[in-house]
Structures are given as C-alpha cells and as structure tokens.
Amino acid sequence: MEIHSGRNRIVRRIFESLGYEVKNLDRVMFAGLTKKNVERGKYRFLTEKEIRNLKFFGKGK
C-alpha cells in the first residue's frame, strides 16, 4: 500500500477494519530517499541533489 501523507495510523486502521492484525509497518521511502543498500544500523552520506530535495520538501509544510 502506498500513501503520501505519511500517517501510519491510517494504514493500520484500514487493515484492522478489514480484520487483519497489523504487527508492524515499514517506511520504505521518505522525500525520495530510500533505505535501499543501507544495512540496518548503518548510514550513508547524502548527495547534493538529495539535500536540495529535502530542503524543497520541507518548504511545503
């Protein structure tokens, strides 16, 4: 399921209303950034383009 508002409770409530037990949710993308190729507990430096995108993303609030 893909949502754009970033509200985990919405996804949880939708599935629970359909009778599913939601054990956990996993955010796979935020502001165009993914956790692909980054091991748990590790980090990577952002590119200049990613930094610009994050700054632009923050202005929408």
Q: What Rg value do the Cα atoms of the chain yield, rounded?
A: 15
Query: For 9-58, how does the pLDDT look when each residue is reduced to its tens digit (9 = 90+)?
Result: 888 888 899 999 988 887 777 778 888 888 889 999 999 999 988 888 77
Q: What is the DSSP letter of 4?
A: S
pTM passes above 0.75: no
Contact 8, 25 (CB under 8 A): yes
Q: What ranges do the domains of the chain cover?
A: 8-59
Q: Would you place residue 61 in the very low, low, confident or very high pLDDT band (cuts 50, 70, 90)?
A: low
